[in-house]
Amino acid sequence: MTQTKAGPDIAAGRLPEDAYSENFSDLHPLLEQHEAQVEADRCYFCYDAPCMQACPTSIDIPQFIRQISTGNPDGSAKTIFEQNILGGMCARVCPTETLCEEVCVREVAEGKPVKIGQLQRYATDHYMSGHDETPFSRAAASGKKVAVVGAGPAGLSCAHRLAVHGHEVTLFDARDKAGGLNEFGIASYKSVENFAQREVDFVLSIGGIELKTGMRLGDNIDLAELRATFDAVFLSIGLGGVNALNKENESHNGVLNAVDYISDIRQADELSQLPVGRNIVVIGGGMTAVDIAVQKKLLGADDVTIVYRREQDRMNASKFEQELAQTTGVKILTNAQPHALVTENGHISSIELERTVSLADGTLNGTGEILSLPADMVFKAVGQTLVRDDLDATIALEKGRIVVDADRKTSLDDVWAGGDCVLGGEDLTVTAVEDGKIAAESINAALNA
């Protein structure tokens, strides 16, 4: 019987050099012109199309597909950008299989939907390859100034729409470059060739937006100061905290935050230099859990297991993402939760898990059955939390998120918010973009009142 090596086995460069570029190549390569034409011709161009109703940003999907089918990809891209200025990234990362494509008439009738996401990427990539600027012009200067805090999808969307209306926008971000989760928080194979930064440049090309990086709310800027200086403020600060497992030894080496490591992968100059364990355990059931698990497998880990406390059909990760994980060689262990983190010489060596059972009333009970998995690295992907210290004490919160109305306005008259930081916010680029767009229109109306 093979003996398990004692202690952690973590090393860089586990794969041949050429394997990294192959493993992290584009998940959905760009359609060729002929492929796009053939796929566009499958669309029924439905009146009152269910796909359009399922799109959080209400893109006119039949219209943009019709424009592709008639040889007008630039016109198609303009149709997309009118509703979603980050349509290029959304085409890459949105779970279209559970949004527009899930309700496609072709999916319902045949189980094979029109490839809406890939067609959206075809149009937007075509436009951006030939144009450095967005297809919009700024209105006359309004004389109003708006602060947007957080240069992720919601912030970029809001800033662009405000700039179109003629307002001067200062866009603050805590990191050294803009993009938010599009730049730092998604699997590298979903967005290749520096697309996130190219899209940031595209959005900023509208003019009237000043980007200031290295500016963190609660550190070198504060909400009270922004409210005193600007006519309105939009908060898209995301969720800066990470939920804990609340287990002994959690602070020991090898117990890591998945979101931080995903960022390291995204920003790495050489993937071959990243440390990789032999045995990886990921705790969680969402997209972040899948993103870190798949990437660790692609970096050369021998055994990667996602551990989720409930049944697999309860996982937040889409069915496509789950299948991607499994076809990559990642195991999914369900109905199990962390029981204990076992360490040797200050480093994680294994994790003990307790079997669980879901009761009829939805509660989760431990069964007392314990199993153990070897682990050189354990990644926490169990959700993120709002950093409360960043905010004005008077702003209303509920369930650890900022409370907003339908216009994304907070309890403060001159402050709006959107994206993951708001109550009801979803961990999706497309819903963040919609939040930013709605808030911008509300801010514009308020400033013109």
pLDDT of residue 122: 98
Q: Do domains 145-240+386-447 and 242-380 have the same CATH topology?
A: yes
Is 444 a residue whose pLDDT tops 70? yes
pLDDT tens for 310-333 read: 999 999 999 999 999 999 999 999
- The answer to whether residues 324 and 305 touch, using CB atoms and an 8 Å cutoff, is no
Give the separation between CA 101 and CA 76, rounded to whole angstroms. Answer: 18
Compute the distance between CA of residue 216 and CA of residue 132 in angstroms, rounded to an integer: 29
1 pLDDT higher than 50: no
Q: Chain-wide mean pLDDT for the chain?
A: 95
Q: 145-240+386-447 in CATH: which number?
A: 3.50.50.60
* Exposure class string for 61-79: b at 16+ Cβ within 10 A, else e: bbbbbbbbbeeebebbbbb
pLDDT reported for residue 240 = 86
Tokens read off for 152? 């992720």
Number of Cβ atoms within 10 Å of the Cβ of 329: 14
Element (H, E) at 83: helix 73-83
Percentage, residues of the chain above pLDDT 90: 92
| 26-45 pLDDT, tens digit each | 999 999 999 999 999 999 99
Predicted local distance difference test score (pLDDT) of residue 259: 94
Residue 8 CA: distances (Å) to CA of 279, 306, 349, 375: 9, 19, 6, 8
260-303 tens-digit pLDDT: 999 999 999 999 999 999 999 999 999 999 999 999 999 999 99
Domain boundaries, the chain: 33-130, 145-240+386-447, 242-380
Q: What is the pLDDT of residue 393?
A: 76
What is the model's pLDDT at position 2? Answer: 38
**Looking at domain 33-130, which CATH architecture does it have?**
Orthogonal Bundle (1.10)
The mean pLDDT of 231-247, rounded to a whole number, is: 94
Task: Give 376-402 pLDDT, tens digit per residue.
Answer: 999 999 999 988 766 877 899 999 999
- In the chain, % of residues over pLDDT 70: 98
Domain at 242-380: CATH code: 3.50.50.60
Which of 441, 417, 444, 391 is closest to 154 using CA atoms? 417
Could you tell me how far CA 157 lies from the centroid of its own chain?
A: 14
pLDDT tier at 168 (50, 70, 90 boundaries)?
A: very high
Tell me what the mean pLDDT of segment 165-175 comes to: 97
pTM for the predicted model, two decimal places = 0.94
Read off the pLDDT of each residue in 13-22 and give the average, rounded to a whole number.
95
State the pLDDT at residue 6. Answer: 53
pLDDT surpasses 90 at 241: no
